[in-house]
Chains A and B, each alone.
Chain A
Amino acid sequence: MKSAKWENIFKGWNNSESEAVHTLKKVPVFKNLNDKDFTELEKMMHHRNFTSGDFIFKNRAPGEGMYIIMRGSIKITIGTRSGNENILAELNRGEFFGELALFDDEPRSANGIALEDCKLLGFFTQDLMILQERNPVLGHKIMFNLGGLLGERLRKTNKLLIKEQSK
């Protein structure tokens, strides 16, 4: 029989990875981090639960950061739910969205809606700033990864633009 007292005493001895760390390891923004970094990062993550159909954020609402899907799925849309809804993407477990809001004060450019009951991890500008102050090495690693990710997207956009112009 398991006793809560003994579980409390020996908590931390069980080194099995938490679901949050497991999810974070799949996200490219957090690549090249060690286990200690992930443990620190996990402490900063905000666990949020949404039920099916809930808005995670709305288009043009002030945005503060990114979400990582731990369980469930979401859709990114433009337009209202009824009628002219235009689905830009459907994202599942381990995928992330809203990362642009980490860098700028611009409002959200689309809606984020839960497709089913889902559990998300939130990582916001404020967390990144605190991380930069408290653990600059980890903060720099994440910033570098985010920079790389945005650079990759810019390169893809440039290719598309060149392709469109050459038509």
Chain B
Amino acid sequence: MIEKESNYIQQIYRIILLLIGLWFINLIWPYISDVILMLVFAFLFTTVLLSSVDAFERKIGSRSLSVLAVVAILLGAISTFVGSFISQISQQAQEFSQRVDQNTMAKEFKILGDKITSALPSFMKSEQSSSDYFADKLTEITQAVLGSLGSLVSTVGNFMFIAVMVFIFTIILLSEYHVFKRALVNSIPNKFFEVGLKLIYNIEKSVSSYLRGQFLSAASVAGMSITGLVLLNFFGANLTLVIFIGIIAGLANLIPLIGPFVGMVPALLIAFMNNLGSEAAMDHMFLGTIPSPFFSIDIIFMFLVVQQIEGNLITPALVGKSVGLHPMLVMIVLLIGGTLLGPLGMLFAVPATGVMKVILKEIAFVRKNAHLL
């Protein structure tokens, strides 16, 4: 009887401690969220690069030199990509601003609005769907997009700071990964040693296989998008920066559910910028039947085909059931990740949940076998 009561009190104590812990985390969250984000980023980069560093180390025999070599190769690739992307996009923007002023844009939008209104079935033509309405709306949206680009520039400073910190954390983690892991393993008490070791191994395995699968499927999306955009150019889509659009589509694909749609935006923007003022592009019909101004429907269709191939053929083969989360759960964790840490939170929500799943599974296993340990 007394034992039952003490168990009950112990449970209440645990719940109170848990609530205090949650309250404390909530209190300090605004101050630590950035650091946690940096560490998560650094950990994921480390997981991706670790096998390369280990392979280099086996060849040249020095950990520091291997880290340096891998990081230098990675930095070289990133800076080449970002540098040439910025120079090409600024060139594109300059050409666009020289070619098109605001009046021309409004005029073009009016023509576009007319076309869309005339294409709509009669029952959908309300008073509002006049060509002026479409033109005003489109001009408004374009101005808003261009305006938000300005605010994007102001956040670059903050991004650079985070990037430098992530870079430093990644180098430290890459150099000391095995030391940190050994220290963690050594701290496990004898009683839980074997299950603890298994847990760490399973987490490492699930994270690295998930990331490898994701990067391979992103690469396949990039490859297929580039091919699709080149094909569209054969039909006169006049798309430039094809490789960059493909790579951005591939990277955006890393964010489940929303990413693939984000990946279409640069292609639509470039198609719009390059074809504004061209009669042929304005009158283009998708498959000869559906009006597709600036090849927009063609681009959306192409990306939908790429997504279907990636989602139904490539990802199941590459990622398989490495994380194995229910789509409903994926949506919920994406919303939570997005609320807590924005787009980056969405990017890491699924692998983080995958890790949590592995941990919970192992904890359940330990609880089940606790009497045997």
B372 in contact with A60 (CB, 8 Å): yes
- Given known A-B contacts A62-B369, A62-B372, A126-B201, A57 and B194 have beta carbons under 8 A apart: yes
How would residues 126 to 149 of chain A score, 1 for a CB under 8 Å from any chain B CB and 0 otherwise? 100110001100000000000000
B194 in contact with A62 (CB, 8 Å): yes
Task: Assign chain B's interface to a size class.
Answer: 10 to 19
**A107: which of B195, B197, B200, B372 is its contact (CB, 8 Å)?**
B372
Q: Is A54 an interface residue (CB 8 A)?
A: yes
Measured between beta carbons, the chain B residues less than 8 angstroms from A30 are none
**Among residues 140 to 192 in chain B, which have CB atoms less than 8 Å away from a CB atom of chain A?**
178, 185-186, 190-191
**Among residues 343 to 373 in chain B, which have CB atoms less than 8 Å away from a CB atom of chain A?**
365, 369, 372-373
B197 in contact with A64 (CB, 8 Å): yes
In the assembled complex, the CB of B189 is this many whole angstroms from the nearest CB of chain A, namely 10
Q: Is B58 an interface residue (CB 8 A)?
A: yes
B372 in contact with A61 (CB, 8 Å): yes
Q: Is A58 an interface residue (CB 8 A)?
A: yes
Q: Is A97 an interface residue (CB 8 A)?
A: no
Q: Is B81 an interface residue (CB 8 A)?
A: no
Please give me the residue from chain A that is nearest to B202 by CB atom: A126
Q: Is B301 an interface residue (CB 8 A)?
A: no
Task: Assign chain A's interface to a size class.
Answer: 20 to 34
A48 in contact with B190 (CB, 8 Å): yes
Measured between beta carbons, the chain B residues less than 8 angstroms from A107 are 372
Q: How many A-B contacts if CB must be within 8 Å?
A: 48
How would residues 28 to 58 of chain A score, 1 for a CB under 8 Å from any chain B CB and 0 otherwise? 0000000000000001001110100011111
In the assembled complex, the CB of A148 is this many whole angstroms from the nearest CB of chain B, namely 25
A62 in contact with B195 (CB, 8 Å): yes
B372 in contact with A124 (CB, 8 Å): no
A124 in contact with B190 (CB, 8 Å): no
In the assembled complex, the CB of B200 is this many whole angstroms from the nearest CB of chain A, namely 8
**A124: which of B54, B191, B197 is its contact (CB, 8 Å)?**
B197
Does more than half of chain B's interface fall in helix, strand or loop, or is it mixed?
Answer: helix
Measured between beta carbons, the chain B residues less than 8 angstroms from A94 are none
- Given known A-B contacts A58-B372, A62-B369, A48 and B193 have beta carbons under 8 A apart: yes
B190 in contact with A61 (CB, 8 Å): no
Measured between beta carbons, the chain B residues less than 8 angstroms from A64 are 194-195, 197-198
- Give Cα distance in the complex from A54 to B369, angstroms: 18
Please give me the residue from chain B that is nearest to A63 by CB atom: B194
A135 in contact with B369 (CB, 8 Å): no
A50 in contact with B190 (CB, 8 Å): yes
- Give Cα distance in the complex from A48 to B182, angstroms: 12
Interface centre among B185, B193, B194, B373 (most CB of A within 10 A): B194
In the assembled complex, the CB of A47 is this many whole angstroms from the nearest CB of chain B, namely 8
**Among residues 213 to 232 in chain B, which have CB atoms less than 8 Å away from a CB atom of chain A?**
none
How would residues 106 to 129 of chain A score, 1 for a CB under 8 Å from any chain B CB and 0 otherwise? 010000000000000010111001
Please give me the residue from chain A that is nearest to B372 by CB atom: A61
In the assembled complex, the CB of B20 is this many whole angstroms from the nearest CB of chain A, namely 34
A134 in contact with B198 (CB, 8 Å): no
In the assembled complex, the CB of A108 is this many whole angstroms from the nearest CB of chain B, namely 8
- Given known A-B contacts A50-B190, A63-B194, A58 and B201 have beta carbons under 8 A apart: no
In the assembled complex, the CB of B194 is this many whole angstroms from the nearest CB of chain A, namely 4
- Given known A-B contacts A46-B185, A126-B201, A65 and B373 have beta carbons under 8 A apart: no
In the assembled complex, the CB of B69 is this many whole angstroms from the nearest CB of chain A, namely 18
A: residues with CB less than 8 A from B are 43, 46-48, 50, 54-65, 107, 122, 124-126, 129-130, 134-135
B: residues with CB less than 8 A from A are 54, 58, 178, 185-186, 190-191, 193-195, 197-198, 200-201, 365, 369, 372-373
Further contacts, 20 of them, CB under 8 A, given A46-B186, A62-B365, A124-B197: A46-B197, A48-B190, A56-B190, A58-B372, A58-B373, A59-B372, A61-B373, A62-B194, A62-B195, A62-B198, A62-B369, A62-B372, A64-B194, A65-B194, A107-B372, A124-B198, A125-B198, A126-B197, A126-B200, A134-B58
